[in-house]
Each structure stands twice: as structure tokens, then as C-alpha cells.
Amino acid sequence: MMRNILVTGAAGFIGSHLSEALVRKGYQVTGLDNLSYGRIENLAPILAHPSFQFIQGDVRDVDLLRTIGRSMDAILHLAAFKIPRYSNALETLNVNSKGIENVLNVSVASGCRVIFASTSDVYGKNPNLPYSEKNDFYMGSPQIRRWSYAISKILGEHLCFLYHKEHGVRVTILRYFGSYGPKQNLTWWGGPQSIFIDCALKDAPMPIHGDGLQTRSFTYIGDTTEGTMRALESEDASGKVFNIGSTEETTILDLGKKVWRLVRGPEEPRIEYIPYRQFPGRYEDVRRRVPDIGLAKEILGFSPKVSLSEGLTQTIEWQRSVTTSGGALLG
Amino acid sequence: MMKTVLITGGAGFLGSHLSRHLLHKGFKVVSVDDFSHGDRNNVTGLRDFPQFSFHEGDVLDREFLINVSEGADILVHFASYKIPREGNALKAVEVNTKGTETVLEVARERKIRMLFGSTDDVYGKNPELPFSEESALVIGSSKSVRWSDAISKMYSEQLCFAYQDAYEVPINILRFSIIYGPWQRGDWWGGPQGVFIEKALKKEPIPIHGDGLQVRNFTYISDAVEGVLKVIDKEEVRGEVLNIGSFEHVRILDLAYQIWHLVGNSEKPDIEFIDYPDLCQDYEDVRVRDLDLTKARCLLDYAPKMGMEEGLKRTIDWFRSCSKR
């Protein structure tokens, strides 16, 4: 009987939603976060809940994790650095590889399950769409820093499977496709929809990288959480990888226009195109990204329910409430 | 004042050849190896050089590396595990990723250059040939241990650039194709030549994985060493990724036949085809691997010289001389 769950990166966007969902379902939840990018406010609804405990600490801290992990039935490992241009590639590589390694070692000792949050970015530039879990990973030159994130996650996936094979760790890998929703980070870290909503609320031009015709499949946080819960509670998820995402493909430009319309009505959206060459260093974008979620549907019974328009409407409502109630939350 | 070069994996095939060439050119060489795969015989002859020193130790041992790197001007990092199908893949990933990190830490602390020995295996299944340094790195499923080696090298390459960005450690990444020649190992760790030559000398069936129609780029050891020497000599190329290979791309089956005949066997060889599923679970082979050497030619005047036949003859002679001993 699964009861005690450790969520790393609990104060982050996905981590806080998951922690809350777990507490609501009756689990005993321990949330770990070093608050480097996570915000304690994200956990406000459950901070005082008797089934929730928050620990501020680093996921790379071997002794800390060993102590907490001893009594856990499962670890949801979400703590990660994602955009190298936000800190640096070194931190991204370091946190992402050592975090999962530490989690896996704890699991060897305690026998708990591990759910590893990976990313759609591992498919990289692969031109064959939609991406099934069997698709190849297309990475670019190491001189392009953006690949450090995907490569650190691929290494994490390998560590998961190697621990699974060599130590019998029961591990499940989830490749998330761009989650958004209330509590999302309000910088680029939170994704383009976050920036677009902010611009539309302020009647400022929305910055679009490149030609805006690159596509993504944005997944509403409720669906991401749902997929993760299903993986956690499934008897058949061990040793497997699942895409967790929406199959509603949209161009970044259409996303911007949609956000603008939902916030400001029929007026002409204000858009500012930003060429990639203005990025520091070299940059490579991924043109299209859509998941094949057949496996998650078959094994986990997962299917995303919230449409982009519906999800954006809720996200805009939330973002309006936090940005008008004062800038303190933005810090 | 000649420079001091520290080589990790110094008792390995490439590391020991590089040591010898550097010593002949007057460099000081500090060789480091834990003999997990390196061979003591590879460094025996080098001990005659007064400018040579050897330290047995683990590349994951930071303190050890800091101590032995005193006075070093450049770190050449060749110590690594490969072909996880032959053993503990987790260990291989750990040694490869953490080894690189430790060596980069030492380079950072000592404020010296670092050369990282990577592999053309990082280009993986990329169907666009030949591979230039800008080519995409295409690897298969994380479930397949076959890719663990490549991802550990890709991670290490990223780490090199991350250290260069964050701490101004001057780095170079050298992506080698399969290197062969005298002193190479006779098992799969050393590549197909050693295995084929051993079998051909004994007139035993030659084992080939899959259908033998895979194509590989092979570099004779002196050409690989020449590439490294040029990078050591030319500090201006820091921050560059460089393919170091040859113009010889050969089908594995043809290589087996060529070796069989060069050894002097007249009849046709027996080929023992080994299915991948027998080899390890989820094994995926790359059909064709070939390198574009334009960048190394432009930046370093790198031009591999040794032809396949001559290279194989010299390698066979060496294997023969060993078996007589």
C-alpha cells in the first residue's frame, strides 16, 4: 500500500500542483525544494495541511535525501534546471544529472518507486512526427548550449534504466510536453504563454522568437498532473517511458494571437519578432513538436481533457489576479 | 622550456602511443592510469625516458589528480570505459561522466588546457554522411544500453563547453573514429582488427556481429596521434570540436577478408555471424559511420597518411611478434 510520497521540486509549477493533488487524495506528502526557482507561495494551499511537510534543501544533498527517503514509498523527481540561458549550462548539467543519481541511490537503499520527470526536448530536432516513445533523439552541436538540458535528461533516463536493470529499481519515466496553467512561472522559464499573457494584460507587444511558425503541444497542468498520478498509481508503469502531453499542436504565433484575443478581444495583436541571432551564443530551435500518446492511453488510461482555449482562459484569469494584486509574487 | 602533458588513460592504446611521441619530441609526460583496462606493458618502455613519470590512480580521485598535475601545462583526458555490453554499464557511465568532470575541475584549478577524447559514436544513427562536427547527434532509445556510452560522451562534451563558459577553461573535443595498430588490444574493447587478426592467425572462424555490411572509418594509430599532437601544438584552436579520422571507410566483412588474406591464409575464411539479440538486449547497430575531416584539415593541416593495407600489415606483424614471445 503506497502512502508516503516525496516530491522533489515541490515548490515549482508542476511540483506544487502534484503535491496538492496527492494531499487531496490522502497521501502523506513530503515536498523538497531549495527554492532556487520554486516559490513557497505555490504551496500555500497545503503548507499547513497535516498530511504535508515541506523541507527546504538541495536534491543533490546525499545525506538529506537518504534521511528523508528512508520512509518513502515513491519519489516523484521533478527538481531540475531547464533553460541553460537562465543560469548556465554547467548548473543545468550538474543539477539534472546529480539529482536523479541521488534519487536512484536512495531508491536502491529503500526500495521505493521512482517517477522521473523527463522532457519532450529529448526528441530534439527529430523530423519524424508525432513523437512516440521509440523515436530517436536528435541533438545538435555541443557548442549550442540549449542541448545541455536535453542531454542531461537523456543521461538521467539512462541512469534510470541502468538502475532498473542492475539494481531492480522500479522506475517510470515521463516525458512532459510544455505544461502551462495557474502558478506557472512568469518568466520564459514558464514558457511563452506566460510571457504573452503578461504582455497582453499590459498592452505591450508580445515577443516572438524566430518566425513564430514553430509548433508546440501545450499541455494544461491539470492534464499533466492527471497523467503523473496515473503513472504513480499504475501497476504496469515500472520500467517504462510515457509521453505525457496534449496532442493539440499550435504555432507559437497562433498561441500569441489566441492569448491576445482572450485577453483583449478582437483588436489587432501587438507582436514583436525577435530573431534568434539576438540570443547570446548560438541557438537552434525545434520546428515542430507533437507527442504520440498511444502508450499512455493504453497502459495508463491517460487522455488530456483541457483544450488550449479553455486552459488559457483559466491561466489568464489566474495571471490577472496575481499581477494586479501586486508585484510581490513575481519576485 | 618544453611543456608538460598529463595524460589520463596513459597506459591505454592511444594514451601510451601519444606518450611515446610526445617524449620523442621532448615534452614531459605525466601518465595516469588505474589499469582497469590499460596495460602495464604499454608503459614499461616509456619508463626509460627521464621526462616520463607514471602514477597509478583513479581518474575519479580529484585529490590524486590535483597532486600529480602539478606543473602540467595541458591535460589530455583519454581515460574512459566503452562498450557497456561487455560489463557494467552503470560503472561505464559513471567513470565517463564523473571522470570528465574531475579532469575539468583540475584544469580549472590549475588554469590549463584540457583535451577531451570523444568518439564518432556520438553521431549515432545520423543518416547524413559523412559526419561533420556540425552534424546532428542522433541516438536511439534510452532503454538500449547500446547508447549509454554515446550519451556519456555527449554529456561530457557539454560539460567541457560548460566549464569553458563558466571558468574559461580552454577545451578541445576530439572525436576519434576506430583506432587500430600495434599495441592494440586483441579483444572487442580494442575494435574488430585485433579480434580478426587473432582469429586469422589461428585460422579460426572470424566472429562478425550482424550481417557484416556495416561500414566504419578506421584510423591508424600514428595518424590519430598526429591529430592530437597538432591540437596540442596549436593553442588557437581551443573551443573547437574536431573529427580525427582517416579516409578509410571499410565494410566489416571486407575487413575480415582482407585481414584473412594479409595474414597469408589462402582459402576463404569461415565467418561466424552473431545475431545482435545474442549479444545484448535491444542492441542497435549503426550502418555507416564516416567522418568529414575538412575542419581538421583547415585548422590543423591534419592529413591522415596511412593506407588500410599497410596499416593492417604492420598491425599483423606486431600481433605475430607478440604470439612468438
Judging contacts by C-beta atoms under 8 Å, the chain A residues touching residue B162 are 88-90, 92-93, 145, 148
Contacts of B14 (CB under 8 A, 6+ apart): B78, B117, B176, B179, B221, B224, B225, B228
pLDDT for res A199: 97
pLDDT for res A24: 98
What's chain A's average pLDDT? 94
What's chain B's average pLDDT? 94
Judging contacts by C-beta atoms under 8 Å, the chain A residues touching residue B163 are 90
The C-alpha angle with vertex B242 and arms to B238 and B245, in degrees rounded to 5, equals 145
ipTM for the complex? 0.95
From chain B, which residues contact A within 8 Å (Cβ)?
A: 88-90, 93, 97, 124-125, 133-134, 136-143, 145, 147-148, 151-152, 154-155, 157-163, 165-166, 173, 239, 241
Weakest-pLDDT range from A220-234, B97-111, B266-280: B266-280
| A91 found inside a domain | yes
| A157 found inside a domain | yes
Chain-chain contact of A158 with B136 (C-beta, under 8 angstroms): no
Please tell me the distance in Å from A15's CA to the nearest CA on chain B.
Answer: 24
| A257 found inside a domain | no
Task: Summarize pLDDT for A143-181 with one digit per residue, the tens.
Answer: 998 899 999 999 999 999 999 999 999 999 999 999 999
Whether the per-residue pLDDT at A324 is higher than 80: the answer is no
Among B37, B62, B61, B52, CA closest to B7: B52
pLDDT for res B238: 96
Bridging pattern class, strands B137-139 and A179-180: unpaired
Whether the per-residue pLDDT at A313 is higher than 80: the answer is yes
CB distance B16 to B183 below 8 Å: yes
Task: Summarize pLDDT for B239-249 with one digit per residue, the tens.
Answer: 999 999 999 99
Chain-chain contact of A125 with B147 (C-beta, under 8 angstroms): no
pLDDT for res A330: 45
Query: Which residue has cell 532498473?
Result: A164
Chain-chain contact of A136 with B143 (C-beta, under 8 angstroms): no
| A103 found inside a domain | yes
Whether the per-residue pLDDT at B189 is higher than 90: the answer is no
The gap from C-alpha A269 to its chain's centroid, in whole angstroms, comes to 28
Task: Summarize pLDDT for B42-93 with one digit per residue, the tens.
Answer: 999 999 999 999 999 999 999 999 999 999 999 999 999 876 565 688 999 9
Among A156, A125, A225, A175, CA closest to B128: A125
CB distance B2 to B210 below 8 Å: no
pLDDT for res B291: 97
Bridging pattern class, strands A113-119 and A74-77: parallel
Q: What integer is the mean pLDDT of A14-34?
A: 98
pLDDT for res B186: 85
| A149 found inside a domain | yes
Whether the per-residue pLDDT at A94 is higher than 50: the answer is yes
Better pLDDT: B60 or B2: B60
Q: Which residues of A are catalytic?
A: 149
Contacts of A158 (CB under 8 A, 6+ apart): B93, B142, B147, B148, B151, B152
Separation between Cα atoms, residue A296 and residue A230, nearest integer Å: 9
Distances from the Cα of B227 to the Cα of A103, B43, B297, angstroms: 41, 21, 10
| A74 found inside a domain | yes
pLDDT for res B285: 74
Separation between Cα atoms, residue B212 and residue A30, nearest integer Å: 54
Chain-chain contact of A166 with B89 (C-beta, under 8 angstroms): yes
- Give the three cell numbers for residue B101: 568532470
- How much is the pTM? 0.95
Strand, helix or coil for residue A249 = strand
The C-alpha angle with vertex B224 and arms to B5 and B269, in degrees rounded to 5, equals 140
User: Which band of pLDDT confidence, cut at 50, 70 and 90, is reported for residue A279?
Assistant: confident
Distances from the Cα of B110 to the Cα of A193, A315, B318, angstroms: 45, 50, 39
Chain-chain contact of A161 with B142 (C-beta, under 8 angstroms): yes
Smallest Cβ distance to B125: which of A88, A125, A136? Answer: A136
Q: Where are the domains of chain B?
A: 4-180+218-247+293-306
Enclosing domain of residue A239: 4-181+219-246+288-305
Distances from the Cα of B324 to the Cα of A85, B155, B193, B318, B321, angstroms: 59, 43, 19, 10, 5
Strand, helix or coil for residue A83 = coil
Q: What is the CATH number of domain B4-180+218-247+293-306?
A: 3.40.50.720
Whether the per-residue pLDDT at A85 is higher than 90: the answer is no
CATH number at residue A119: 3.40.50.720
